[in-house]
Structure 1
Amino acid sequence: MTERLDRLSDAGVAIWLDDLSRERLQSGGLDALVRDKRLVGVTSNPTIFAKAIGDGSRYDEQLRELASRRIGAEEAARLVTAYDVRWACDVLRPVYESTNGVDGRVSLEVDPRLARDTDATIAEAKSLWWLVDRPNMFVKIPATAEGLPAISAALAEGISVNVTLIFSLSRYDEVISAFFDGLERARDAGRDLSSIASVASFFVSRVDAEVDRRLDKTGSPQARALLGQAAIANARLAYQRFERSLTDPRWQALAAAGAHTQRPLWASTGVKDPQYADTRYVDELVAPGVVSTMPETTLEAVAEHGEIRQDAVHGTYDEARAVLDKLEVVGVSYDDVVRVLEEEGVAKFTGSWEELLATLETVL
Structure 2
Amino acid sequence: MKPRRVTSKQVAERAGVSQTTVSFVLNNVRDANISMETRERVLAAARELKYIPDVSARSLARGRSNNLALVLVQPHRQIFIDEYLPRVITGISDVVQEYGYRIIVERVHSSDSADIYQKLLYSKEAAGMIINFSYATDEHIQNIIACTNDGMPVVSLMNIHPNVYSVEVNKIDGVRIMTQHLIDLGYRRIACIAYDRSEENRHIHERVHVFLSTLRKNGIEPDLSLLRYGAFDPETGYAAMKDILESASRTGLPEVVFGLNDMMAFGAMRAIQESGLRVPDDIAVVGFDDVRLANFSSPPLTTMNEPDEEHGRLAAQMVTTLLEGKVPPERHISLNTRLVIRDSCGTHLRKK
TM category, shorter: under 0.3
For CA contacts below 8 A with separation 6 or more, give which structure has more relative contact order.
Answer: 1
Greater helix percent: which structure? 1
Normalization by structure 1: what TM-score?
Answer: 0.26
- Largest Rg, 1 or 2: 2
